Homo-oligomer: A and B are copies of this chain.
């Protein structure tokens, strides 16, 4: 952000607002920030807004370019705008008789609650405080405001340690025997102000600024500087807010809710943010300032009579009925103006209602769906708008069991929220233990340093998966998401010791059988059992999904390897399978040993014997999946991982296997050694296996073809899409396509059954993307394997990236984890290249994506824009993808009516 040249003065950079008129409006969030834009909009709507002005976000940039100091033209502009405010409100800044006090607040384009600085009551000094006392007829209020201002300013602007002044206050209270701040008398407060100023000059070596203008420049500077505090940076990273947006500064005349029993302050939502119900929802406090509502020292009162019933407290409706009905009117006006549920802040000063803020209210996924449906029914928004209002990722909340919010929780550790949903069970450290316990009806959490394909059966048996290593796209995370199972990954605070059969976290030791609970949506691990609640899919959900389907162009398929996954995905609306991984089938305990015999075979003959045993098993696998997906396309990826993944790594397991399949341990070990690879990701896998051992794919293609024959004979239809992985060259695909077609033709002849089929390839290597025109000659379809494409294009191993990826995101090198959201500028180029080159050769080439990005809304938006035909994602991501695809299509058309 820091640059050396000074930029030119912008044409307009300060925007006044006040009752009835404003220079800006709600659409100008980019330069006014959210708060400033809405204050302007409310002013224009004629709502009672305390007058003020907004210094634009461009000045934030100018400020940093100007060596972190305010350019002179900004000061001049501020003085001019201040005069307008003075005129409007009839007070004068720094005037000792009738002083104007202002608040100075940050306001970024996106809300960053609590992240940045605010100064209230600015403009007070030893003279103006007397004016305030006189005008308010409340000297105690005036001096208390002054005291608070000094405290806040010295901390926020002068950078003084907060607690120093706090101690003075506490000392004074102690010496007088006071319990509460409100016990302080005017004289006490005056003494305190004197004491504060003394301490400040001692501590900082300079006087507290008594000039209101000096105060003002200091406060504006402080707000700009607060854009670059570490906590603000962290927040932005977490919420994908670009550094260069900058913040605006809002300078607004103060109104006071603490001027007596006819004053109050409160917050309200125009609809219930947790259920979406249409009712007044909010809280207020009489004789209080905004911060008191937040601070929680006093219990706020409900706004409506209905909501206050039984609380023993008076509602706003009863206490100040006039203001209440005015508020209702304003709410209605705001909702019909903004056409969305609003979150508002208000203050009542001596019986007069002032609006301090309005913005679209945050809400739960459930409420979001309901509100969207209501607003459509109320004709406030169109279907398209309803879709665009929703956050696809928030649907996760609805699809998985969640922790009961009423339960008490003790957090043990926090990892990555790798697969959403809550899960509770006994710790187990091995997949075998998970299976054993499952048989006895005991729920478990499979707790591993990391998982490997050998753990699939344990992951199936467990309720949730916890790993101490690996990222959002580690094996555990990917497989768990596929299964819709809760997973917390890469939880580095936990140390697992397999030998001792224990895990250590925060000094505590846990053993097999101890109960823990995971929240896969937050990454939290809890001690003991936390109750969970099952998801309930509302009518609103179905309605929104149907509307989404109406507007999307992209088809949504699923990545599913089992009939169960397929069934879940169909229920969520999947339109076929985009990726059926056959290796997971190989790991099933009833066949893994046959697979291993195949690998250990020394001749093609021996290998064929083992493969012949696998054939009927695979055929059944495919048949069962085909039955579920009848009528839809099913893309089956032929064997992909390197063979060593199927052999056991532990000496003990090797010994057992050696006994079971009657092959000497020495031979087994030597084979494992010979299969060892330095970089398995770039090794002997994918179609390379089939070039060296053609019989493996031949068996798989035969199993597919025979299964389709059975489907066809039962009068149903299914078009299998056979997908060949890791193709880098045209020739590979040519050879393997010919091989596969020969097998299919043989099966069709044997069984006297014919069926249509497609043969295509994954585009997951940069070379494949760059030569997609050649490859397309032998492909009926392309499916982008963006996981591997990301690994190879960026040269980053997914399994090893955790060592530097967070540093990369922190340094701004990657905007987001490229394994979660596609790196559009880099990997995206290869996807685009692949699509364009492929369609150059074959205009009608079917093109999809089956990497993890297929379920990520931001990536889906990209895939829409490069004209893919479909995305494929894990079953629980299907609804998210449906909605995201609809949004992408709408955004592309720019067709919001």
Contacts and interface: CB of A to CB of B under 8 A. Distances in A.
A766 B792 CA distance: 7
Contacts of A829: 770-771
B765 A804 contact: no
Q: A728, A771, A791, A808: which has the most chain B beta carbons within 10 Å?
A: A728
A333 interface: no
Interface in A747-767: 764-767
Nearest to A675: B803
B680 A808 contact: no
A728 B796 CA distance: 10
Contacts of A807: 691-692
Interface in A450-495: none
Interface residues of A, number: 48
Contacts of A766: 766, 792-793, 795, 830
A896 interface: no
Given A804-B691, A827-B767, A678 B797 contact: yes
B826 A770 contact: yes
Contact of A679 (B681, B767, B794, B808): B681
Given A691-B807, A770-B829, A682 B813 contact: no
Contacts of A731: 811-813
Nearest to A814: B729
Given A691-B804, A691-B808, A804-B691, A793 B814 contact: no
Contacts of A823: 767
Contact of A726 (B682, B770, B795): B795
A788 interface: yes
A795 B803 contact: no
A10 interface: no
A728 B794 CA distance: 6
A831 to B, nearest CB: 11
A766 B795 CA distance: 8
Contacts of A814: 729
A735 interface: yes
B692 A797 contact: no
Interface string A556-582: 000000000000000000000000000
Interface string A812-846: 11100000000101110110000000000000000
Contacts of A691: 804, 807-808, 811, 813
A732 interface: yes
A194 B244 CA distance: 99
A677 interface: yes
Contacts of A680: 678-679, 800
A882 interface: no
A684 interface: yes
A797 B795 CA distance: 12
A535 interface: no
A683 interface: yes
Interface in A376-410: none
Given A767-B826, A792-B795, A804 B688 contact: yes
A799 interface: yes
Q: A735, A823, A826: which has the most chain B beta carbons within 10 Å?
A: A826
B678 A681 contact: yes
Nearest to A681: B679
Contact of A684 (B683, B726, B791, B804): B804
Contacts of A803: 683-684, 692
B800 A678 contact: yes
A729 B823 CA distance: 11
Interface in A668-708: 677-684, 688, 691-692
B682 A791 contact: yes
A572 B167 CA distance: 79
Nearest to A815: B731
A767 B793 contact: yes
Contacts of A826: 728-729, 767, 770-771
A412 B746 CA distance: 47
Nearest to A770: B829
Contact of A813 (B726, B729, B792, B799): B729
A796 B682 contact: yes
A679 B800 contact: yes
A682 B728 contact: no
Q: A679, A729, A764: which has the most chain B beta carbons within 10 Å?
A: A679
Contacts of A812: 731
A684 B800 CA distance: 7
A331 to B, nearest CB: 46
Given A729-B826, A803-B683, A812-B731, A797 B677 contact: yes
Nearest to A828: B770
B735 A797 contact: no
A728 B683 contact: no
A547 B829 CA distance: 44
Contacts of A792: 682, 766, 792-793, 795
A374 B731 CA distance: 46
A788 B793 CA distance: 11
B679 A771 contact: no
A237 to B, nearest CB: 14
Nearest to A729: B813
A706 to B, nearest CB: 27
Nearest to A825: B771
Nearest to A791: B682
Interface string A129-152: 000000000000000000000000
Interface string A297-331: 00000000000000000000000000000000000
B800 A682 contact: yes
Given A729-B813, A729-B826, A683 B797 contact: yes
Interface in A582-625: none
Contacts of A767: 793-795, 823, 826-827
A812 B735 CA distance: 10
Given A680-B678, A681-B679, A691-B804, A770 B793 contact: yes
A795 B788 contact: yes
A682 B682 contact: yes
Nearest to A833: B770
B683 A800 contact: yes
Contacts of A793: 765-767, 770, 792
A794 B813 contact: no
A493 to B, nearest CB: 15
Contacts of A811: 691, 731, 735
Interface string A766-803: 11001100100000000000001001111111011001
Contacts of A679: 679-682, 797, 799-800
Contacts of A765: 793-795
Contacts of A794: 728, 765, 767
Contacts of A770: 793, 826, 829-830
Interface string A644-681: 00000000000000000000000000000000011111
A812 B680 CA distance: 24
A521 to B, nearest CB: 28
A814 B788 CA distance: 22
A812 B691 CA distance: 11
Nearest to A734: B813
Contacts of A771: 825-826, 829
A792 B829 CA distance: 16
Nearest to A807: B692
Q: A735, A788, A803, A827: which has the most chain B beta carbons within 10 Å?
A: A803
Given A728-B796, A735-B813, 15 more contacts: A677-B799, A678-B681, A681-B682, A683-B797, A683-B800, A691-B807, A692-B803, A692-B804, A728-B794, A765-B794, A767-B823, A767-B827, A770-B829, A771-B825, A774-B825
23 contacts: A677-B799, A678-B797, A679-B681, A679-B682, A680-B800, A681-B682, A683-B797, A683-B803, A688-B804, A688-B808, A691-B807, A691-B808, A691-B811, A692-B804, A765-B793, A766-B766, A766-B792, A766-B795, A767-B793, A767-B826, A770-B826, A788-B795, A792-B793
The 6 closest A-B CB pairs, nearest first, are: A766-B766, A682-B797, A679-B797, A767-B826, A765-B795, A678-B799
